[in-house]
Amino acid sequence: MVGVPAGLYFWSNLPLLKTIHLIFLWLLWPTVALSQPVVPIRSGGALALNGYLETFADSTGRLTVSQIRSLYRQGKFSALPGNRLVINYTTANHWLHIRLAPAKPQLLYLEIDNPRINRVSFYQTVRDSVVSQVITGDSLPFTTRGFPHYNWVVPVLLHAEKPTDVFVMLSKHGEILSTGISLWGPNAFEQYDRSRYLLWGMLAGLTVLVLLLNGMVWIATHDTLYGWFMAVIVVTAFNLGAASGLSFQYVWPHAPVVNNWYPQTISAWLIVLAHVHFMQRFIGQVAGNSWIVHWVNRFKYSIIACTLLTLGLVIFDAVPTNFFRFLVWITLFFSVMVIPLAVLSLRERIRRREPIILFYTAVTAVQFLTLAVFFVNLFLTRAGRPLFTMPNEGLVLVNYLIDLIMMSLGVLYFGFTNYRQRNEQLLTTLHQQEQDQSRKVIEALEIERNRIAEDLYDDVGAMLSTAIGYVSSVMRKPDVREKFPLLTEARQLLVRAVDNLRTVSHNLMPKNFAELGLAKSLAETIDKVSASTSIRFRFIVAGPERRLDANTEVQIFRIAAELINDIVKNSDATEATLQLIYGDESLVLIAEDDGPNPPQYNNLHSKVAFINGKIDADISPAGVTLLAEIPY
């Protein structure tokens, strides 16, 4: 008995003193019991439990609450420093005890802040009677809880001036048992509880928004990068939902098997697998630009193999005895190996200063720092000196927020940038192909123009010249001139036909164009046009002449010829000026006339656009000014 001197046990064996001894114990017991630490109950937030919690480890895992109360009375419980229970990998049942002695009836809420505990048993006792009990755990359906909450929350109804003992059994076999214990007043618990559910709801809403946004972009762009990022979010959200207890409350309340250690372990492996594969897709890591890619792929294959092996053993109920420790070490191995693989993958590309590599390096550095702090805290926790009391799922939550916010922005930005660059490259290639096709067509047309010009000038022109010679020889006879006066007019028509033929041939392709160049060919053309029309033409060349490629110069000559032809045929102008200005970055062709009639160009805009030029025209009754700018 706690507080009873050891010598009394000897004297109690004497028959005469037996009754006195029992009376003494009966008088002493209330004093002994009330001498245990009693939680001071006050209004406000959470009640301070430091120094008022006691714990006992049941290594057999079979003790009942009656046996535990007996052990408590024998002083087997030890004081818990602080309000958090941290136990290394264990197979024992751990009991907690709190003594409450209210001055008036009231309701309190006891919270065990770790939703992933296999079995949780709650007993409220007054004197020797159990007045309330709750048997639950994440291995039982969610309906077994006495209070609908993602954590273990139990209402404790206290009666005035009746000391109450609360015993809580926690069982988490084969894992680290780390949990905080809090005791709340009704108002404080309600306010705090609402804020927690509000924050979790905001996180869930943000998750759904990010998934919808990336899903729509994935459908629009057909880029699997967004699909793999969604996979990272989904598997991390599953693990976080299970670790927080929210998924058990809202997603699978009737399937506690999902809370088992194996699904959670496999989900942790899938997080690593999704992250590694997403990294490869995000930074564009392929065999052509990385030597480490083969090791990264082998790492992924090892995760897939362990996942399939574990699933097979669980499905066929063939899990070995020590398989749990194997999974623990494998999980640590996967978590640690991510670091050197990611560092090497980024190191071989970071020297190029690619923005996407620098961004992913910064995000990964933050996540690795979080991971390092977690592992340091894990080893210190096992040694009994933790840096902080954040639960294990806190690490997942921090990295999840980094992925959800920073990485999501990076995926959308760089993914859209890559998509736009691919489209621009595709459009450039398509435009280049169109230009090549058009160039081939133009070359074929130029060949045909040259052939027609040569045929007209050499064959038809020669025949007309011969005909002029025949007519001239006949007209030398006086009697023939007098008898056939129309021969003179016929000769003049033939001479005019030869001149017109020479002009048409020159417009099709000036003779010796390649040797003369654009400026001299245009000057020669304007001279011939001026001789055959009443319009006074001026031709001005400004700047040092710069020779362009043959196809471009031919197109510019065609453009100038169409401008000249339109002025002659449609403008009714009296004066016209053609300027050829060689600038620093472009060639400018300007045609001006004082004709009142608007121009009637034939595919002029298409010809200028083909050589990437721009047209600006000013049309008014006072005349027409057209400017065509062609970049070099």
Alpha-carbon distances, residue 586 vs 208, 328, 523, 630 (angstroms):
53, 70, 20, 5
Cα separation, 375 vs 494, in Å, equals 103
Most confident of the ranges 252-256, 368-372, 413-417, 605-609: 252-256
Q: What is the CATH number of the domain that holds 89?
A: 2.60.40.2380
Domain boundary among 412, 433, 454: 433
Q: Are residues 2 and 69 in the same domain?
A: no
Give the Cα-Cα-Cα angle 312, 317, 323 (nearest 5 degrees).
75
- Nearest to 481, CA basis, from 492, 472, 469: 472
Cα separation, 481 vs 468, in Å, equals 15
Least confident segment among 190-194, 449-453, 545-549 = 449-453
Residue 494 token pair: 């033939």
Cα separation, 281 vs 304, in Å, equals 18
Q: Are residues 230 and 163 in the same domain?
A: no
Mean pLDDT, to the nearest integer, of 472-488?
73
* pLDDT value of residue 63: 94
* pLDDT value of residue 461: 64
In a domain, 505, yes or no: no
* pLDDT value of residue 590: 92
* pLDDT value of residue 18: 36
- The residue whose two tokens read 């930005």 is 413
- Nearest to 559, CA basis, from 512, 507, 523, 517: 507
Give the CA dihedral 477, 483, 489, 491, nearest 10 degrees. -30
Amino acid at 104: K
Cα separation, 614 vs 604, in Å, equals 11
Give me the percent of the chain exceeding a pLDDT of 70. 84
In a domain, 593, yes or no: yes
Three-state helix/strand/coil letters over 574-615: CEEEEEEEECCCEEEEEEEECCCCCCCCCCHHHHHHHCCCEE
Q: Are residues 27 and 166 in the same domain?
A: no
* pLDDT over 60 (residue 474): yes
* pLDDT value of residue 451: 64
379-391: per-residue pLDDT in tens?
776 666 666 655 5
* pLDDT value of residue 8: 30
Q: Are residues 268 and 376 in the same domain?
A: yes
Q: Are residues 144 and 237 in the same domain?
A: no
492-507: per-residue pLDDT in tens?
777 777 777 666 665 5
Give me the percent of the chain exceeding a pLDDT of 90. 31
Cα separation, 188 vs 429, in Å, equals 67
* pLDDT over 90 (residue 96): yes
The dihedral sign for the CA sequence 219, 224, 226, 231: positive
Cα separation, 613 vs 631, in Å, equals 6
* pLDDT value of residue 14: 36
Least confident segment among 81-95, 302-316, 427-441 = 427-441
In a domain, 277, yes or no: yes
* pLDDT over 50 (residue 35): no
* pLDDT over 80 (residue 201): yes
- Nearest to 517, CA basis, from 544, 562, 561, 557: 557
Q: Are residues 139 and 263 in the same domain?
A: no
* pLDDT over 90 (residue 335): no
Give the predicted TM-score (pTM) of the model.
0.65
pLDDT class for 44, splitting at 50, 70, 90? low
Number of residues written out for the chain:
632
Mean pLDDT, to the nearest integer, of 310-317?
90
Cα separation, 425 vs 339, in Å, equals 35
**β-strands 54-58, 78-79: how paired?**
antiparallel
Residues near 439 by Cβ (< 8 Å), separated by ≥ 6? 551
- Nearest to 285, CA basis, from 234, 229, 366, 342: 342
- The residue whose two tokens read 């190191």 is 347
Mean pLDDT, to the nearest integer, of 113-120?
91
**Ramachandran category for residue 127: left, alpha or beta (phi over 0 → left; psi -120 to 50 → alpha):** left
Cα separation, 154 vs 157, in Å, equals 10
155-165: per-residue pLDDT in tens?
999 888 788 99
Q: Which helix (H) or strand (E) holds 428?
A: helix 408-454
Angle between helices 323-350 and 355-382 (to 10 degrees): 150
The larger pLDDT score, comparing residue 489 to residue 59, is at 59
| CB hemisphere CA count around 232 (13 angstroms) | 30
Q: Are residues 232 and 349 in the same domain?
A: yes
* pLDDT value of residue 94: 95
Cα separation, 565 vs 601, in Å, equals 9
Q: Are residues 229 and 357 in the same domain?
A: yes
Report whether 571 contacts 593 (CB < 8 A). Answer: yes
Q: Are residues 552 and 626 in the same domain?
A: yes
Alpha-carbon distances, residue 34 vs 91, 119, 167 (angstroms):
33, 30, 16
Q: Are residues 530 and 388 in the same domain?
A: no
* pLDDT over 50 (residue 334): yes
Cα separation, 597 vs 568, in Å, equals 11
Domain boundary among 147, 162, 193: 193
* pLDDT over 80 (residue 478): no
In a domain, 157, yes or no: yes
The dihedral sign for the CA sequence 590, 591, 593, 599: negative
Mean pLDDT, to the nearest integer, of 39-67?
84
Mean pLDDT, the chain, as a whole number?
A: 82
In a domain, 445, yes or no: no
Task: Tell me which residue range forms the domain holding 541.
Answer: 517-632
* pLDDT over 80 (residue 487): no
In a domain, 507, yes or no: no
The larger pLDDT score, comparing residue 28 to residue 477, is at 477
Cα separation, 414 vs 391, in Å, equals 34
Least confident segment among 13-27, 234-248, 487-501, 540-554 = 13-27
* pLDDT over 70 (residue 7): no
Q: Are residues 350 and 237 in the same domain?
A: yes
- Nearest to 261, CA basis, from 374, 139, 119: 139
Mean pLDDT, to the nearest integer, of 123-127?
91
Cα separation, 498 vs 492, in Å, equals 10
Residues near 172 by Cβ (< 8 Å), separated by ≥ 6? 90, 116, 117, 118
- Nearest to 115, CA basis, from 46, 179, 54, 199: 179
425-452: per-residue pLDDT in tens?
888 888 788 777 766 766 665 666 666 6
In a domain, 500, yes or no: no
Domain boundary among 433, 450, 474: 433
> Could you give phi then psi for residue 548, rounded to 5 degrees?
-105, 180
Look at the chain and report how many structural domains it folds into: 4
Alpha-carbon distances, residue 113 vs 48, 85, 170 (angstroms):
15, 10, 12
In a domain, 117, yes or no: yes
Report whether 111 contacts 184 (CB < 8 A). Answer: yes
Q: Are residues 9 and 44 in the same domain?
A: no
* pLDDT value of residue 306: 93
